[in-house]
Amino acid sequence: MTPGPAVCCPTLGGSPLNADLAHLTISECRSLLDSKQVSAVELTRASQDRVAAGDSRLGAFLLVTDDLALAQAKDADVRIAAGRSGALTGVPYALKDIISTTGIRTTCGSRILETYVPVYQGPVVDCLSREGAVLIGKTNMDEFAMGSSNEHSGFFPARNPWDTDRVPGGSSGGSAAAVAAGFVPFALGTDTGGSIRQPAGLTGIAGVKPTYGRVSRFGLVAFASSLDQIGPLTRTVEDSATILNLIAGYDTRDSTSLNAPVPDYVAAVRGSEGNKEPSTAPLAGIRVGVPREYFPDTLDPDVASVVRDALDLLATCGAELVDISLPSTEVALACYYIIAPSEVMSNLARYDGVRFGLRAEGSDVWEMFDRTREAGFGPEVKRRILLGAFALSKGYVDAYYVKALQVRTLVKREFESAFQSVDVIVGPTSPTPAFRLGEKLEDPVAMYLADAFTLPANIAGICGISVPCGLARDLPVGLQILGPPLGEEMMFRVAGAYERAAAWNLRPAGW
């Protein structure tokens, strides 16, 4: 199959001021701003108007920062007028509400932090501000990022702009919905087991989980510290590269931060085609591993067929497809659901009514702890805390936690050995397109299985991207491209070549 026609392709008509300012990419925003066809204040107001008009249907935002955004937009216009603009000056964006923002409420989607206002933020937010990006608001998410559908938000679910009866994925569902609906050109999310790639896939946008340690976690509220990474959700692969170039880098305040140079990811996306006529075989010499475990019998047949078409297109671009096997894929899921809850049980012990957010009084300190945590945490977070407490308890720690660490080593080695013979590993991001709200809510294991193809990358610490690769039953499908640790350049190269060759322009009707 050749790539289908663009769906509702946006146009920028004669006068951009009158044209649709939604669904612009970061680079389109920047060129309109620098050529003074639109001001940062106009772009910001357009974004705010769209959120005001449409977000009651989507629930993408937990907080809008209107005053701050307008102040940042005015500053951006001053910088642009003075010819001092940076890569994001005047570009609106949204932040997942687990990324701390100084003086701005940060709830992590949880009632327990409903009133929490951080007194610090990390380098990721500092760097976006320094570049002149304009913060539109903080996005909805599953509570403390535990979930795959956004239904575990402590406030209200976010919805998928392709079909508002369906989930946008999770846990960065609000960030994905905001970008897919054209509210903002980019958002940041976090990915502990798939929470950037899965919602990106289910909403038809690009999303990157960087190599563990590539982006500082300082200022990110911890879910599972050995797995969490911050990354971009954008309309194009190149925009993701632009953002990663800015937020990646060494930070002494994160002890797991990698001290490695940050290559030019945008150049990697453009490949050698950046300077030349488009090549007919931009991926010549690239070996693409196709793991048989990522195409199980249970894979949705429409998803399978769209992904197979994408693989054919990679071959047309000159890539060599290599059948590989990653036998630990199945146990990686079990391993994740021991390691992540164990870290949760430790990381979430700090929410005790003494230092942060909610406090429910009791007759003594123990009752106060109990009541605070009972009232503040939702059912999924409680389930994870209990799972973690069990996995770490005396008598079971060897059978569960220590065993899971051994499996983790296995999963890592399997990827290491696969990357000896292939450059990237490609398959579906998720086993199904977006499911209906409520469909998996009562069945935790069915929900956990939504991440079967994404969470091995977190277990192994490698990098991955989800790129839109078409529609199944009128819903977006994501193509996952995994690269080795610090292999983002190769991952971006393949993703960029695929995106150019496929030329999808997915946009949900009515947004």
Active site residues: 96, 171, 195
55 binds ligand GLN (CB under 6 A): no
Q: Which of 75, 70, 63, 208 is nearest to 131 (CA)?
A: 75
At its nearest, how many Å lie between ligand GLN and the CB of residue 337?
Answer: 8
Q: Could you give the CA distance from residue 500 to residue 86 in angstroms, rounded to a whole number?
A: 26
Q: Which residues partner with 288 through β-bridges?
A: 321, 424
Count of Cβ atoms closer than 10 Å to residue 388 Cβ? 25
**With the C-alpha atoms ordered 5, 278, 465, 319, is the resulting torsion angle positive or negative?**
positive
Largest CA-CA distance found in the chain, in angstroms, rounded: 75
Among 147, 282, 428, 496, binds ligand GLN (CB under 6 A): 147
Q: Indicate the residue among 388 and 427 with the shorter CB distance to ligand GLN.
A: 388
Dist. CA 267–CA 67, nearest whole Å: 36
The least distance separating ligand GLN from the CB of residue 147, rounded to whole angstroms, comes to: 5
251-310: contacts with ligand GLN (CB under 6 A): none
Which residue lies nearer to ligand GLN by CB, 373 or 384?
Answer: 384
Q: Residues 421 to 460: which contact ligand GLN by CB under 6 A?
A: 451
Instruction: Give least dist CB 340 to ligand GLN, A.
Output: 5
Please, what's the b/e burial string for 324-355 (b: 16 or more CB within 10 A of its CB; e: otherwise)? bebebbebbbebbbbbbbbbbbbbbeebbbee
* Dihedral of alpha carbons 407, 409, 413, 419, sign: positive
Answer yes or no: are the C-beta atoms of 467 and 206 closer than 8 Å.
Answer: yes
> Binding ligand GLN by CB under 6 A: which of 195, 229, 236, 240?
195
Amino acid at 272: S
Does 139 sit near ligand GLN (CB under 6 A)? Answer: no
Which residues, numbered 449-508, are part of the site for ligand GLN (CB under 6 A)? 451
Residues 501, 317: contact at Cβ < 8 Å?
yes
33, 145, 247, 481: residue in contact with ligand GLN (rule CB under 6 A): 145
Residue of 33, 113, 340, 479 interacting with ligand GLN (CB under 6 A): 340
Helices (H), 122-236: 123-131, 173-180, 197-203
Q: Which two tokens stand for residue 15?
A: 């006068």
44/192 with CB nearer ligand GLN = 192
Q: Does 148 bind ligand GLN (CB under 6 A)?
A: yes
Residues 153 to 192 in contact with ligand GLN, rule: CB under 6 A: 171, 190-192
Is 452 or 491 the residue whose CB approaches ligand GLN more closely?
Answer: 452
Q: Find the shortest distance in angstroms from Cβ 300 to ligand GLN.
A: 18
Candidates 41-49, 140-148, 159-167, 312-320: pick the segment binding ligand GLN (CB under 6 A).
140-148
CA angle 273, 277, 280 (to 5 degrees): 75
Kindly state the smallest distance separating residue 193's Cβ from ligand GLN, in Å.
Answer: 3
- Residue 464 in tokens: 């991955």
Instruction: Give the span between the Cα atoms of 217 and 483, in whole angstroms.
Output: 21
CB of 72 or CB of 190, closer to ligand GLN: 190
Residue with smaller CB distance to ligand GLN, 171 or 505: 171
On the question of a cis peptide bond just before residue 257, with omega within 30 degrees of 0, the verdict is no
Contact between 151 and ligand GLN by CB under 6 A: the answer reads: no
Q: Which is nearer to ligand GLN, 72 or 195 (CB)?
A: 195
The residue type of 488 is E
CB 157 to ligand GLN: min, Å: 15
Q: Distance between CA 460 and CA 332 in Å, rounded? A: 9
Query: Would you count residue 246 as binding ligand GLN (CB under 6 A)?
Result: no
Q: Which stretch binds ligand GLN (CB under 6 A): 139-147, 239-247, 272-280, 503-511?
A: 139-147
Q: How far is the CB of 1 from ligand GLN (least distance, A)?
A: 31
Closest distance of CB 491 from ligand GLN, Å = 18
Residue 180 bridge partners (DSSP): none
194 is a contact residue toward ligand GLN (CB under 6 A):
yes
Nearer to ligand GLN (CB atom), residue 145 or residue 426: 145
* Distance separating alpha carbons of residues 115 and 16, to the nearest angstrom: 40
Q: What's the first-to-final CA gap in the chain, in angstroms?
A: 27
Question: Which tokens sit at 59?
Answer: 């629930």
Nearer to ligand GLN by Cβ, of 112 and 290: the residue is: 112
d(CA 98, CA 239) in angstroms, rounded, equals 22
| Cβ neighbours around 264 below 10 Å, total | 12
Instruction: Note whether 342 binds ligand GLN by CB under 6 A.
Output: no
Q: How many residues does the chain have?
A: 511
Q: Which of residues 5-44 bind ligand GLN (CB under 6 A)?
A: none
Which x/- pattern, by CB under 6 A, does the window 86-125 give for ligand GLN? ----------------------------------------
In the complex, least distance from residue 17 CB atom to ligand GLN, rounded to whole angstroms: 39
Q: Quick one: which of 193, 231, 388, 470 contacts ligand GLN (CB under 6 A)?
A: 193
Which residues contact ligand GLN by CB under 6 A? 145-148, 171, 190-195, 223, 340, 451
